[in-house]
Amino acid sequence: MLSEQYEIIERLPTVLEHKTLWEAVGWGKVNIEMTEQSIANSVYGVIAISDGNVIGMGRIVGDGAMYYYIQDVAVLPEHQNKGIGKEIIDKLLNYINVNCAGAGFVGLFASHGKDEFYEKFGFKDHSPGMTGMFMVMDK
């Protein structure tokens, strides 16, 4: 459980909170209009707060029935390695567990060097039998 100075709240991050966390963890610049629509279309989300400030986030995108993708799990660098990311993932996986009626697929893309963190939750690299692929469309 988190110490009293951190709290996980079930709500999506605002566009500004998302932008702040996204850029703080080094994921680049954010397209605000695209982010606003993306957040609005999320299945579920949580934020972590400390002293009234948002210091972490995570959300689920997908169809809300069979396919779920964990997205945008980020914790401000100065608050990392304190169990906050674990609490965020636990909340997201609990939501999927409660709301998925049968066998569901839960996917994510881990930032470089974060594989071991997600493996603790049961995520696996299924290559070569199954390979995760993606394409970035830059307009």
- DSSP, collapsed to helix, strand or coil, labels residue 76 as coil
Q: How many CB atoms lie within 10 A of CB 65?
A: 12
- Give the model's confidence band at 1: pLDDT under 50 very low, under 70 low, under 90 confident, else very high: very low
- Helices within 8-56 (DSSP H only): 15-24, 32-40
**Which among 57, 45, 35, 37 has a CA at the least distance from the CA of 96?**
45
| E-state strands within the chain | 7-9, 44-50, 53-62, 67-75, 105-107
What pLDDT digit, counting tens, does each position of 110-126 carry?
Answer: 777 777 888 888 778 77
Instruction: Count Cβ atoms within 10 A of the Cβ of residue 46 and give its class: 0-12 exposed, 13-18 middle, 19 or more buried.
Output: buried
Whether residue 103 is predicted with pLDDT greater than 70 in this model: the reply is no
> Residues near 16 by Cβ (< 8 Å), separated by ≥ 6?
none
Average pLDDT for the chain:
88
What pLDDT digit, counting tens, does each position of 17-38 carry?
Answer: 999 999 999 999 999 999 999 9
Q: How many CB atoms lie within 10 A of CB 33?
A: 9
Rounded CA-CA distance 77/73 in Å is 12
Whether residue 99 is predicted with pLDDT greater than 50 in this model: the reply is yes
Give the pLDDT mean for 50-77.
Answer: 94
pLDDT at res. 4? 56
- Domains of the chain, earliest start first: 7-119 (3.40.630.30)
pTM score of the predicted model: 0.85
- Give the model's confidence band at 55: pLDDT under 50 very low, under 70 low, under 90 confident, else very high: very high
Query: β-strands 67-75, 53-62: how paired?
Result: antiparallel
Phi, psi (deg, nearest 5) at residue 44: -165, 155
Whether residue 108 is predicted with pLDDT greater than 60 in this model: the reply is yes
Give the pLDDT mean for 125-129.
Answer: 75
